[in-house]
Amino acid sequence: MSSDKKTSISFAPNGPVLVKDLKNLSNQHGPIQTTETIALCRCGASANKPYCDGSHAKINFSSEKQSDRTEDKRETYRGVKITIHDNRSICAHAGYCTDNLSDVFRMKQEPWIDPDAATNDEIIAAVEKCPSGALSYSIDNIECIEQNSKTAIFIAPNGPYVLTGEADLVETSFADGAAKKQLTLCRCGASKNKPFCDGSHWAIDFTDEKN
């Protein structure tokens, strides 16, 4: 595989995630060997996760977005020194923001984000941990540009595929305002906003003991 090829990701209708020219695939146990093209399960039913084994056809998996999904819309929360942007439709509910900075990211409160409740450095650190790209920030009306990073997919335990770095999404649009070098892709089959994760793996208690 040529080292200068950019990773591309496409989504077979009602079928797997097709990843081409990816060198870095891993799970909680470490690196996983890759080939030029990898078919990753996104219906949640494969007996050979993370790979597709054709189970999507047996269970009549649908890759369509659902009408009752969270609206693809970025909200803006302006503070004195920093502005936080958030798109709930692609939140994977990993909890890094609410667990680490609960004064800013306030569950069950409105508005749920208070950008003046912590320092810029603390907020930036929390935002940069967001695996889905739902969160971003601006300072002095200039939105931060995410840094280059090695293109990789990490298989989150009982959760989504976490993509970092540059990749082309074939015939798929990024969510409104989403960070393009940091996103999560559904692999449990239950997201209402496929191909992106919307946290539904928590609701259905998705488990994958192998990965």
Q: What is the CATH number of the domain that holds 36?
A: 3.40.5.90
Apex CA 49: angle with CA 179 and CA 132, to 5°? 15
* Residues 89 and 190 occupy one common structural domain: no
* Residues 58 and 152 occupy one common structural domain: yes
- Of 119, 143, 167, the residue at which a domain comes to its end is 143
* Residues 154 and 54 occupy one common structural domain: yes
**Per mean pLDDT, which range of 69-73, 114-118, 153-157, 171-175 is the poorest?**
171-175
* Residues 57 and 90 occupy one common structural domain: no
Cα–Cα distance between 178 and 180 in angstroms, integer?
6
Task: Write down how long the chain is.
Answer: 211
Chain center to CA of 138 = 21
Query: Cis omega before residue 13 (within 30°)?
Result: no
What pLDDT score was predicted for residue 38? 97
* Residues 139 and 87 occupy one common structural domain: yes
Q: Yes or no: say if 137 and 162 are a contact pair by the CB < 8 Å rule.
A: no
Total Cβ atoms within 10 A of residue 62: 13
Q: What is the CATH number of the domain that holds 130?
A: 3.30.70.20
Q: Tens of pLDDT along 160-182?
A: 999 999 899 999 998 998 877 88
At residue 144 the predicted structure's pLDDT band, cuts being 50, 70 and 90, is confident
Total number of domains in the chain: 2
* Residues 79 and 129 occupy one common structural domain: yes
* Residues 79 and 135 occupy one common structural domain: yes
**If you average pLDDT over every residue of the chain, what do you get?**
94
Q: b/e string for 121-153 if b means 16 or more Cβ within 10 A?
A: eebbebbbbbbbbbbbbeeeeeeeebeeeebbb
- Of 113, 143, 173, the residue at which a domain comes to its end is 143
For residue 130, being part of any structural domain is answered with: yes
For residue 3, being part of any structural domain is answered with: no
* Residues 162 and 195 occupy one common structural domain: yes
For residue 42, being part of any structural domain is answered with: yes
SS3 call for 202 = helix
- Of 127, 143, 159, the residue at which a domain comes to its end is 143
Q: Tens of pLDDT along 99-135?
A: 999 999 999 999 999 999 999 999 999 999 999 999 9
For residue 174, being part of any structural domain is answered with: yes
SS3 call for 122 = helix
Please give the residue range of the domain that contains residue 89. Answer: 74-143
Residue 3 has pLDDT above 60, yes or no: no
Q: Yes or no: say if 50 and 41 are a contact pair by the CB < 8 Å rule.
A: yes
For residue 211, being part of any structural domain is answered with: no
* Residues 60 and 78 occupy one common structural domain: no
β-sheet bridge partners, residue 87: 74
User: Which contiguous run of DSSP H or E holds residue 162?
Assistant: strand 161-164
DSSP annotation of 204: T
Amino acid at 171: E
